[in-house]
C-alpha cells in the first residue's frame, strides 16, 4: 500500500527553520512589522562528473529534486540504475551517479526557455517525446476534485507560513499522497518525479494537482511521468491545452470551490456530485488558502 488512508507520504514542514527567515520592515501605516520570508538558495546539479544546471530552490529534498530534474529533462532513463546521490550542504551541490556512462555536453546547448518561474527550461527533444507516450486509462470523479481541493487547502504549508511558494501534489482518487513545495512549480513537480522514481511509485490511478498555470512544460512533465490527469487552481495557456489534447491528458483548471473548467480529456470525468451540496469557496478562505491565487 502506498499510504495509510488520510495521510501523506510526504508533506510540507512549515516549522523547518531552514526554509524561512524572520525579516523586519514596516507596514502600510509605517508601523514596524516582522514577518517570515521564504529562504531561496542555489543548488548546483552534477550528473556523474558533468555540471548540468544551477537552480534556485528552498533546499529541502535535494535528492528528489536532482533525480526528478534529470528524469524530466530526459537525462535519466526509466531503466537507469542510480549508484548514488551525494548532497553537500556547505557547497550547495548535489551529484547524481549512474551505472550508465553519460555525456550531455551537446544536449546542454539545445534548450528552450520556458514561461515558468525559477528559469525553467526544457530540451527540444522533449517536445517530440510525448508523441510516443500512451497514458494509462483512468477516471476523474468530480467528488474527488472537491475533496482534494479541501484537503490540500487545509494542509499546513510553507505558503501559509511565508508565501512566495508553489505546491504540487500527487494524489490517488480523493487522497493526496505526496505534497512538495518550492519557489518554482517546476522544482516541485521534479521533486515528485524523483520520489516516484526512487520509491518505484507507479503512475496508474494517479492525479497530479498543482498551484501554477497549466503551461506547456507542466503538461509535458505530467505526460512524461505518465500521469493521466492534471488539475490546477490556476488557468491555462493555449499551448498547454493543445499539447494536452494531443497527448490524451485530462486537463482541469480554475478549480476553486464548486467551479472548474476542463479543456482536454473531458471523457474521463464522471459527474457524481450534487452541486447544491458543494460549498463555494469564500473569498477570505481563498486569500488564506495554501494554494490560493498562486500565479507566476
Distance CA 123, CA 73 (A): 6
Report how far apart, in Å, the C-alpha atoms of 39 and of each of 61, 146, 225 are.
14, 32, 28
Indicate the length of the chain as a whole number: 296
Instruction: Over range 59-74, report the average pLDDT.
Output: 95
Q: Which of 156-165, 185-194, 281-290 has the lowest mean pLDDT?
A: 281-290
Give 235's Cβ-side CA count (13 Å radius).
4
| Strand boundaries in 16-154, DSSP class E | 20-26, 32-38, 41-47, 50-57, 82-88, 93-98, 111-113, 121-123, 140-141
Report how far apart, in Å, the C-alpha atoms of 11 and of each of 15, 44, 185, 290 are.
12, 24, 15, 12
Q: Are 40 and 24 in contact (CB under 8 A)?
A: no
Q: What 8-state DSSP symbol labels residue 134?
A: -
Closest CA to 94 of 67, 76, 74: 67
Which range marks the domain in which residue 245 is found? 1-296
Query: How confident is the prediction for the chain on average, in pLDDT?
Result: 87
Domain count, the chain: 1
CATH of the domain at 271: 3.40.140.10
pLDDT at 129: 67
Residue 112 confidence (pLDDT) above 70: no
Report how far apart, in Å, the C-alpha atoms of 111 and of each of 105, 108, 127 are.
12, 7, 11
Residue 120 confidence (pLDDT) above 80: no
Closest CA to 36 of 11, 9, 18: 18
pTM: predicted TM-score of the whole model, two decimal places: 0.87
Sign of CA dihedral 260, 168, 43, 36: positive
Q: Which of 10-14, 52-56, 102-106 has the lowest mean pLDDT?
A: 102-106
Quick: pLDDT tens for 16-65.
999 999 999 999 999 999 999 999 999 999 999 999 999 999 999 999 99
Amino acid at each position: 500500500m502506498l499510504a495509510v488512508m488520510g495521510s501523506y507520504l510526504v508533506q510540507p514542514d512549515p516549522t523547518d527553520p531552514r526554509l524561512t527567515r524572520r525579516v523586519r520592515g514596516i507596514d502600510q501605516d509605517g508601523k514596524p512589522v516582522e514577518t517570515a520570508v521564504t529562504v531561496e538558495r542555489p543548488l548546483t546539479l552534477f550528473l556523474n562528473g558533468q555540471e548540468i544546471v544551477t537552480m534556485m530552490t528552498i533546499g529541502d529534498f535535494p535528492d528528489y529534486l536532482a533525480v526528478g530534474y534529470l528524469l524530466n529533462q530526459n537525462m535519466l532513463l526509466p531503466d537507469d540504475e542510480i549508484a548514488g546521490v551525494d548532497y553537500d550542504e556547505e557547497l550547495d551541490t548535489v551529484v547524481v551517479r549512474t551505472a550508465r556512462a553519460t555525456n550531455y555536453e551537446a544536449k546542454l546547448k539545445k534548450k528552450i526557455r520556458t514561461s515558468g518561474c525559477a528559469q525553467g527550461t526544457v530540451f527540444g527533444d522533449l517536445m517530440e517525446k510525448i508523441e510516443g507516450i500512451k497514458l494509462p486509462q483512468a477516471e476523474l470523479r468530480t467528488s474527488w476534485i472537491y475533496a482534494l481541493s479541501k484537503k490540500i487547502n487545509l494542509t499546513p504549508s510553507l505558503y501559509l507560513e511565508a508565501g512566495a511558494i508553489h505546491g504540487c501534489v500527487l494524489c490517488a482518487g480523493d487522497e493526496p499522497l505526496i505534497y512538495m513545495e518550492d519557489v518554482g512549480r517546476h522544482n516541485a513537480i521534479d521533486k515528485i518525479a524523483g520520489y516516484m522514481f526512487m520509491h518505484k511509485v507507479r503512475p496508474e490511478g494517479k492525479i497530479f494537482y498543482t498551484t501554477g498555470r497549466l503551461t506547456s512544460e507542466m503538461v509535458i512533465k505530467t505526460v512524461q511521468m505518465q500521469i493521466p490527469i492534471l488539475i490546477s487552481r490556476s488557468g491555462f495557456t493555449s499551448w498547454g491545452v493543445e499539447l494536452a489534447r494531443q497527448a490524451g491528458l485530462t486537463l482541469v483548471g480554475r478549480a476553486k470551490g464548486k467551479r472548474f473548467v476542463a479543456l482536454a480529456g473531458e471523457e474521463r470525468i464522471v459527474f457524481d456530485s450534487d452541486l447544491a451540496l458543494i460549498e463555494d469557496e469564500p473569498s477570505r478562505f481563498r486569500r488564506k488558502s495554501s494554494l490560493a491565487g498562486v500565479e507566476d
